[in-house]
Structure 1
């Protein structure tokens, strides 16, 4: 099974291939995109032992001298200090402008490796090989790269498109159920915005087993939806902002939870809570939040968290990267399949949230 999806941003078009067991033949797919060159595989301590050495050996045997650079697993690696270590190692290995980086891992690896590629020697080639469901359906496509700051997620980064994205649904079988469910949070975000057949497909996902069985279709639908948005608005000046549905509240609760929530879990909370709030405003049809809650909870995704409404939550909200002139742009659903923008001053949003969200003192 092979599916090819074209992503055509103005700066750098490329293809995404969804190939079951594709990682076993990584060198074959790389050879169709890159001429012979030195490669550094950037991975983490969880993914590396599973796939990196085999990939390294196969690439080297195919005429691509390859080294593996392993970073610590987890969001903490999206930092200045880790970025510096990565770039210094690329320089120590004498990587040149005609060489390349392969990001082999989840969203953290993809974000960090992509950012390093975008700034090292003012930009060298990068290929994304995402191994988590979240990265396969979201962060590996679209060219967003970033590290975090103490004040917020993804506050330092670039738009830097890869040369190629290889998605292998077979690797999902090694993921624990919680990480599978996390990725489903982003899938539901795309599905509820797309509506139609994509949204209807999610009605049949009632377990992680069902999710794995439908993974190729769900990944394809998510990537196709995102590819169309990214092609129309590469640098998030207009329509691409719609992909932030659920993320304003989601990012804030993720930061306030201080590592206890995965990104997709935080997005699930943001999706549900904002849909519920806009339903109360009568801007989203009644029953939408209940329907969304059923699909989120079918995979065990949370609808709320103790970090919601804490001082740390509101502190993080004030550093939302979509904030412009103290104006916050929220995304809501006019109905399923029809997302829209809702702008209001940050102070009004804070007051609204303090009135409508559960409030905690710590």
Structure 2
């Protein structure tokens, strides 16, 4: 079993990576954590694949276990769904001596983390991510949030799990679109920090050729994030680099009301647009955007969209967490594997879209 430890001034926790880990999870959690009752929060799709079996496994070893399931997708990442979960937790008489598990992808992880950060001013939880996106990125680092009608992740908190358990075997049940969705985050890590990772993706050419290296891919991505989070837990500096492609990507998701593009697809478009623009403006090494485009397309992600209303996109970006007054921090890459934070005036934003 591979292990990565996140060390923060106020907390330390482990990320475990092992194929087949889900099969031994109940006993592992019972042996290593003190709690009275357990709640698994998941979505309807993951519940039928893994949730019901996991609940039974915990019950079979004598743990009083409840399950809360939400609708799949961004529709559940909301204040109203969080409120419903609060009420369910009260119904089950959950307190700080109990434990919550987030079993699912990025939406379930973000939603559960936000609920646990705010319920009783903080209750312990564990992440069990079941998608590439959540395994390589969102389950680690303590970012939790829900969306508002005006934009994505506008209400949230930094709140870390007690542990993260990653079983790459669960990726075998993912539909192709969710594989591609998660690969956008893997490409991001290669672009901002790891030229070797980018070359691995480029040489593989598609996800099928990466399957036998998926543990390594997950480990590399998480270790990059660990190093950045340890330096800048609350995104006041270097952690902003992890948002490469996300400023435009989140705005695109919102522009289409979260119906047309997945998070990964929107981030892929954002990564290409920002790199093409920065290359044109002389801030990025020539031909970098072409390499980014090629890798994006290899993993069946879009890199362009039809003409959009730039003013509406900019209005959404103005609500972005990286905005400070009339300035915004955008993430650029100088070349593959080297990134930087650039502070620009809002009036110059159109140059990058």
TM-score (norm 2): 0.96
Could you say what secondary structure the match of 1:332 adopts? strand
Paired residue secondary structure (1:203) = helix
Uncovered stretches (5+) of structure 1, i.e. residues with no partner: 358-362
Match of 1:262 in 2: 262
Matches of 1:293 and 1:96, distance apart in 2: 48
Tell me how far apart the structure 2 counterparts of residues 103 and 217 of structure 1 sit (CA, whole Å).
Answer: 23
Change (3 A) 1:309 1:276: farther
Taking structure 1 as reference, are residues 299 and 196 closer, same or farther at Cα in structure 2, changes over 3 Å only? closer
- C-alpha deviation, 1:60, in angstroms: 2.0
Task: Tell me what 1:360 maps to.
Answer: none
1: CA distance, partners of 2:183 / 2:307: 21
Checking the alignment, whether the CA contact within 8 Å between 1:275 and 1:284 is kept in structure 2 is yes
**Other-structure match for 1:319:** 319
Q: Deviations over 1:162-195 (max 9, x none)?
A: 0000011000011011110110000010111123
Deviates more, 1:54-63 or 1:77-86: 54-63
CA distance in 2, matches of 1:233, 1:206: 33
Q: Where does the alignment leave 5 or more consecutive residues of structure 2 unmatched?
A: none
Per the TM alignment, residue 341 of structure 1 is displaced from its structure 2 partner at its CA by 1.1
Structure 2 distance, partners of 1:29, 1:157, is 30
Q: Quick check: 2:35–2:99 contact (8 Å CA) kept in 1?
A: no
**Partners of 2:116 and 2:122 in 1: how far apart?**
6
Separation in 1, partners of 2:254, 2:269? 13
Contact kept in structure 1, 2:35 and 2:97, CA below 8 Å: no
Name the residue aligned to 2:92.
Answer: 93
Equivalent residue, structure 1, for 2:44 = 45
Deviation at 1:308, TM superposition (A): 4.2
Task: Quote how far apart the aligned CAs of 1:213 are.
Answer: 2.9
The answer for the alignment partner of 1:185 in structure 2 is: 184
Q: Match for residue 349 of structure 1?
A: 349
CA offset at residue 315 of structure 1? 2.6
TM-score norm. by structure 1 comes to 0.94
* Residue 58 (structure 2) aligns with: 59
The yes-or-no answer on 1:289 pairing with 2:251 is no
- Structure-2 separation of matches of 1:198 and 1:88: 44
Cα distance in 1 for partners of 2:194, 2:87 equals: 45
Task: Decide which moves more: 16-25 or 310-319.
Answer: 310-319
Tell whether the 8 Å contact from 2:117 to 2:123 is kept in structure 1 after alignment. Answer: yes
- 1:3 Cα deviation from its structure 2 partner: 1.0
* Alpha-carbon distance in 2 for matches of 1:30, 1:104: 14
1:98 aligns to what SS in structure 2?
coil
Give 1:135-174 correspondences, 5 Å limit: 135-174=134-173
- Using the TM superposition, name which of 334-343 and 145-154 deviates more: 334-343
Give CA deviations for 1:280-330 in whole Å, capped at 9, x if unaligned: 011110010101111110111100123744554233122112111121101
